[in-house]
Amino acid sequence: MSNVISDGDEVQIDGSFLTKGDLAPDFALCGSDLETKTLGDFQGKRKVIATVPSVDTEVCASESLKINDLAIAYPSVYFLVVSKDLPFALKRFCASTSLHNIVPLSDLRTRSGFGKNYGIKIASGALDGLLARSIILLDSGDKVVYSELCSDIKQMPDFEALQKALEE
């Protein structure tokens, strides 16, 4: 279990955050079309999994826009943005911000253990149950090649480091 900062307070994160060399566990998440999506649905390509507490916050919205820009620059990579937001909210957010290059996924209804399995489920404080902010880059075989768990919920990930990892 690790800790991150949320509004100046330390909060616990449930599970062990994935690090370089780990094999990503499968997941069952809800797409904006209300269909269940698994890691297997994104086979054969590298994947960036960006987790955010909610797209309804300024930092998460800004991060999603940056992820979309990366998706345009790297069309051979899947870019997944995962939160606990309702699939309807994710669909509306993507439409209102013209985000057409990311795959929005919700961990709300599937109860797959995604947050704990990936070591990003906030387990204390006001955001208990939501997902911490993180970036995980998987190779085409679903092995972690880069990962970052943001030490502060309001802090953006290191996009330069992610872009460097995408170039390798």
For 35-138, where are the alpha helices, taking DSSP H only?
A: 58-73, 87-96, 114-117
Cα atoms found within 13 Å of the Cα of residue 167, Cβ hemisphere only: 6
Q: Is 121 helix (H, G, I), strand (E, B) or coil?
A: strand
Of 30, 60, 94, 150, catalytic: 60
- Rounded Cα distance, 132 and 136, in Å: 12
150 among known catalytic residues: no
Catalytic residues: 60
